[in-house]
A and B are shown apart, each in its own frame.
Chain A
Amino acid sequence: MSTNKRKLLNRYHVVFLVQSTMFGTGVLSLPQRLSSLGYSQALFPLLFGVIASLSIWPMIWINSKYKNENLFRINEILLGKWIGKSINLFIVLQFTLFLAAIISSYMNLIQTTALPEQTMTIPVLFFLLLLTYIVNGGIKSVARFCIMAFFITIPMLYFLRWAIEKGEMSHLFPLFNYNGHEFFEALRKGYLSILGYEVIMFYFPYIVNQKKAYKHALVGIWISIILCFITTIVSVLYYSEWQLENIEFSVLHLFKAGEFSFIERIDIIGITLWIFLILSTAAGYLWSAKKGLDSLRSKKKKYHVYLITIVIFAVVVMPISHESQKKLFEGSHYVGYLLLVWPIFLSVVHILRKKQVQQ
């Protein structure tokens, strides 16, 4: 197999890896998270897009200085072995929690919509088994899965048709009707939905055309952003302001507006098909977490994937209250923001320690 080669990812792989890791369960509740803006949220994802395009630049810059190293190694090189490794441990833990959060929220969704009469333990187990199967194929397998996931799920956009038909155009105006506090509230809550592109710092060494990586990543980011943009616009059209604030997975309910003579609840098909998007997001993170564990222990072992998976499984099915679980996951989300700022910090360290490191 071609996994022995170092450079694996061509431009399509990069575009869709970036795109798919961004596009997970976050989108389902994006309109609710932005609800402090009310109807004015419609254009907000575009702003997210701008922020994402700017914040990915330092990531690629610091990576391009160390062409054959991922962020875990860069941490060790720049900050020394011990500090670097403890930071890496922290990142691995954060990723594990983040994965648990994604999977748990999706599984809760499945339980409420598709399988109301079952406990989720065994489905979670099967889900994780499949996830490890994808990740075991290496980053190229993950990237290919991302491409397929995109093309398999993109027809779901068609289901928005009825929501647009039934929607109210006047909801869109006025466009900028909010104050500063509401703006930051929406930014804080909503930006979580589009996190995921930072994983590029971990698979960057495998990219063939590293010089154009920024461009390809941007394409990926903007595909996701446009999809988010469409969903928020349609949500704004379709829902009332009260509904935007109180319906948890509003995008899912957009599908329900659909009318076929042979299928009543398209949303169930939609949410089960969403498994592709969740798998592609989770696979990117799990692969990175596995790489982190590899670098922590300074050796490559296949069981590292299983180790992380077992931890995820334990976190997802652990018998603590839904509330505290939610708090834990929220916490891990906010830590995720740190990872956006981290490359800027690293870049500063790099400039300061340039000569020392090069020696």
Chain B
Amino acid sequence: MNKKGRHVVLVKNLKFVRSTIGVKYQKKAQSEVGNSTKAEQFIKDLKNHTSKMNDVIFKKIPTSESVVTVIYSSSLVDKITMQLMIFIPLANHLNQIHQVAEVIKTTDVNGITSKLISGQTLLYFHQSNLLLSIDTYSAPTRSITNTETESTVIGPQDAFTESLETNISLVKRRIQNPMLKNEERTIGKETNTKISILYIDNIVNQENLERLRNRIDHIDYPAYFDISVLKQLIEDNPLSPFPQYYMTVRPDTVAYYLLDGRMVVFMDNSQDALVCPTSFLEMFISIEDYYNRWTTASLLRMLRFFGFFLTIMITPMYISALTFHPEILPYELLLNLQESRSKVPFPPLFEVLFIELIIEVLREAGSRMPTKVGQTIGIVGGIVIGTAAVEAGLISNILIVLVATSSLLSFLPPIFLMSNTSRFVRYIFILSAGLFGLFGQMLAFAWLITHLLRLNSLGTPFMTPVIPRKASDLMDSIVRFPMAYLKEKMGISRSQKK
């Protein structure tokens, strides 16, 4: 057969093939047309829905399978991630995409948009009308740095960051235990903030856990920017000046409490972790106590704990001794005080309030200013105002010493919230000392004790172990016994394991 003849046969064959499967071909083409209109409609809907979101990008890419529209929010996904996870596999190995991606079945535009704003990339296959999503969330995060608020001399120096995943991974690096559970939730109907409840399943008290879940599920608050907001919403007594849950930025502290049977809550975009339940005493405990030798640790703990009571008592004592009971002071001391107060025209109450408020102002101004200016202002302001006020006869020398000591003491607790509280409580004591002297002070002290006794932290008494719950707790209270004795878990966590 010559060339021409062969060609004729081929053409004939081709015609035959066309004529036999032509119907099928046509149908397929028709359905393709139908799909493509459907696809265009879908893309159009989505475009309409996200029209005001300028960072949403629609990119049409032809692939070996069909035309794919890649939809993503450019502010939440960085270019390298896109390149590595989407574009290269789309061009070369489409099955890679199918392995990683998750099929979205919903046709609800709102649901699809919410995927977009959580940083996922959507892949829409025009021909098969298939919608896939791939998690490509790669928002910028801060790297792990040293703790600035809870720094220690000994012990690990890393601190949590604002990323939920990083924080959880920092804890999981310390506790490699399959029982460490991690429950995720989304709260805040405006911000849709992710939180995570961490606990060790075979240690944690289930009743406590249920209570915490219940509280978190029943709050109704629109927006969360920090976990301290959540903390205030789920506290037992929101009106109290005392923080009822522990907050920390240290992964080792969190790991310690988890192993003791507490629950820890993390929130996305929040550096702090919430530990609950906690007792009053634990507000004065730093994780560094366990890294120090027991002697040093005990000494420091005692300082912090009794420092709290000293800081609320020193300046009120000055007021009541000078206003109501000069006879409790020995003659020489009284003379000394009177001499130093001789130029001061105000009653002791106003004198104390004046200088205490100045210190508050200095502290607040110093903390809000840029660091470099703040320190200078703090030191210069403190010295200048202090000396000048004494020389001007506004306050006495001795009071400066007392106020400085008491404000230093108020910064001893490792939790900043607690030192704020101690300063607030001090004003109650100052006012009551101004009203009734020592009697007023003791009245305020009785109030403080009653209030602390009535407080609960997640349903557990806040004053443990002072109100005895467990004898072994006393080994790790104001005095920290040598490490070999500290084997039992604290009573407040009511853990399953002993």
- Measured in the bound complex, the distance between the Cα atoms of B327 and A148 in whole Å is 29
Q: Which among B325, B330, B463 is the interface contact of A114 at CB below 8 angstroms?
A: B325
Name the residue among A114, A117, A261 with the largest chain B CB count within 10 angstroms.
A114
Chain A residues contacting B441 (CB-CB under 8 Å) are 272
- Measured in the bound complex, the distance between the Cα atoms of B443 and A276 in whole Å is 9
Scoring A residues 118 to 129 as 1 if CB is less than 8 Å from chain B, else 0, what string do you get? 100011001100
Contact between chains at A1 and B450 (CB < 8 Å): no
Residue in B closest to A111 when the chains form the complex, CB atoms? B439
Contact between chains at B443 and A127 (CB < 8 Å): yes
Given contacts A1-B459, A114-B325, are A275 and B449 in contact (CB under 8 A)?
no
A262 within 8 A of partner (CB): yes
Chain A residues contacting B459 (CB-CB under 8 Å) are 1-2
Given contacts A264-B328, A264-B329, are A115 and B437 in contact (CB under 8 A)?
yes
Query: Which A residues from 112 to 151 make CB contacts under 8 A with B?
Result: 114-115, 117-118, 122-123, 126-127, 130, 133-134, 137, 141, 144-145, 147-148, 151
Chain A residues contacting B330 (CB-CB under 8 Å) are 261-264
- Measured in the bound complex, the distance between the Cα atoms of B438 and A275 in whole Å is 11
Scoring A residues 63 to 98 as 1 if CB is less than 8 Å from chain B, else 0, what string do you get? 000000000000000000000000000000000000
Q: Which among B324, B447, B467 is the interface contact of A147 at CB below 8 angstroms?
A: B467
Chain A residues contacting B298 (CB-CB under 8 Å) are none
- Measured in the bound complex, the distance between the Cα atoms of B467 and A312 in whole Å is 30
Contact between chains at B325 and A268 (CB < 8 Å): yes
A22 to chain B, nearest CB (A): 19
A12 within 8 A of partner (CB): yes
Contact between chains at A114 and B467 (CB < 8 Å): no
- Measured in the bound complex, the distance between the Cα atoms of B328 and A122 in whole Å is 23
B3 to chain A, nearest CB (A): 101
Contact between chains at B438 and A114 (CB < 8 Å): yes
Chain A residues contacting B328 (CB-CB under 8 Å) are 263-266, 268-269
Contact between chains at A268 and B446 (CB < 8 Å): no
Q: Which among B438, B447, B453, B468 is the interface contact of A269 at CB below 8 angstroms?
A: B438
- Measured in the bound complex, the distance between the Cα atoms of B450 and A320 in whole Å is 33
Given contacts A1-B459, A147-B467, are A275 and B443 in contact (CB under 8 A)?
yes
B86 to chain A, nearest CB (A): 54
A145 to chain B, nearest CB (A): 6
A273 within 8 A of partner (CB): yes
Contact between chains at A130 and B450 (CB < 8 Å): yes
- Measured in the bound complex, the distance between the Cα atoms of B435 and A126 in whole Å is 11
Given contacts A130-B447, A133-B450, A148-B449, are A272 and B439 in contact (CB under 8 A)?
yes
Given contacts A134-B450, A144-B467, are A118 and B436 in contact (CB under 8 A)?
yes
- Measured in the bound complex, the distance between the Cα atoms of B438 and A145 in whole Å is 20
Residue in B closest to A260 when the chains form the complex, CB atoms? B330
A152 within 8 A of partner (CB): yes
Given contacts A141-B454, A261-B330, A268-B325, are A275 and B446 in contact (CB under 8 A)?
yes
Chain A residues contacting B467 (CB-CB under 8 Å) are 12, 144, 147-148
Chain B residues contacting A123 (CB-CB under 8 Å) are 436, 439-440, 443
Q: Which among A115, A137, A145, A264 is the interface contact of B327 at CB below 8 angstroms?
A: A264
B456 within 8 A of partner (CB): yes
A219 within 8 A of partner (CB): no
- Measured in the bound complex, the distance between the Cα atoms of B448 and A133 in whole Å is 11
- Measured in the bound complex, the distance between the Cα atoms of B325 and A225 in whole Å is 33
Chain B residues contacting A268 (CB-CB under 8 Å) are 325, 327-328, 438
Query: Which A residues from 1 to 24 make CB contacts under 8 A with B?
Result: 1-2, 12
Interface residues on B, range: 20 to 34
Chain B residues contacting A134 (CB-CB under 8 Å) are 450
A110 within 8 A of partner (CB): yes
- Measured in the bound complex, the distance between the Cα atoms of B446 and A144 in whole Å is 12
Contact between chains at B446 and A130 (CB < 8 Å): yes
A41 to chain B, nearest CB (A): 30
Scoring B residues 422 to 466 as 1 if CB is less than 8 Å from chain A, else 0, what string do you get? 000000000000011111111100110111011010010101001
Contact between chains at B463 and A273 (CB < 8 Å): no
Chain B residues contacting A305 (CB-CB under 8 Å) are none
Chain B residues contacting A133 (CB-CB under 8 Å) are 447, 450-451
Contact between chains at A265 and B325 (CB < 8 Å): yes
Chain B residues contacting A12 (CB-CB under 8 Å) are 467-468
Contact between chains at B439 and A137 (CB < 8 Å): no
- Measured in the bound complex, the distance between the Cα atoms of B466 and A269 in whole Å is 23
- Measured in the bound complex, the distance between the Cα atoms of B449 and A130 in whole Å is 11
A279 within 8 A of partner (CB): yes
B333 within 8 A of partner (CB): yes
Chain B residues contacting A126 (CB-CB under 8 Å) are 436, 440, 443
Contact between chains at A137 and B450 (CB < 8 Å): yes
Given contacts A115-B439, A118-B436, are A279 and B325 in contact (CB under 8 A)?
no
A320 to chain B, nearest CB (A): 24
- Measured in the bound complex, the distance between the Cα atoms of B331 and A244 in whole Å is 30
Q: Which among B438, B446, B463 is the interface contact of A279 at CB below 8 angstroms?
A: B446
Chain B residues contacting A273 (CB-CB under 8 Å) are 442
Given contacts A1-B459, A148-B449, are A130 and B443 in contact (CB under 8 A)?
yes
- Measured in the bound complex, the distance between the Cα atoms of B331 and A279 in whole Å is 33
Chain B residues contacting A2 (CB-CB under 8 Å) are 459
Chain A residues contacting B446 (CB-CB under 8 Å) are 130, 275-276, 279
- Measured in the bound complex, the distance between the Cα atoms of B467 and A157 in whole Å is 22
Chain A residues contacting B468 (CB-CB under 8 Å) are 12
Contact between chains at B329 and A263 (CB < 8 Å): yes
Contact between chains at A152 and B449 (CB < 8 Å): yes
Contact between chains at A141 and B450 (CB < 8 Å): yes
Contact between chains at B442 and A275 (CB < 8 Å): yes
Chain B residues contacting A127 (CB-CB under 8 Å) are 443
Closest A-B pairs by Cβ, 5 of them: A272-B442, A272-B438, A144-B453, A265-B328, A137-B454
Beyond A12-B468, A134-B450, A137-B453, list 12 extra A-B contacts (CB 8 Å): A12-B467, A114-B325, A114-B438, A137-B454, A141-B450, A144-B463, A262-B333, A263-B330, A264-B330, A268-B328, A272-B439, A275-B446
Q: List 23 A-B contacts (CB under 8 A).
A: A1-B456, A114-B325, A115-B436, A115-B439, A126-B440, A126-B443, A127-B443, A137-B450, A144-B467, A145-B450, A148-B449, A148-B453, A148-B467, A261-B330, A264-B327, A264-B328, A265-B327, A268-B328, A272-B442, A273-B442, A275-B446, A276-B442, A279-B446
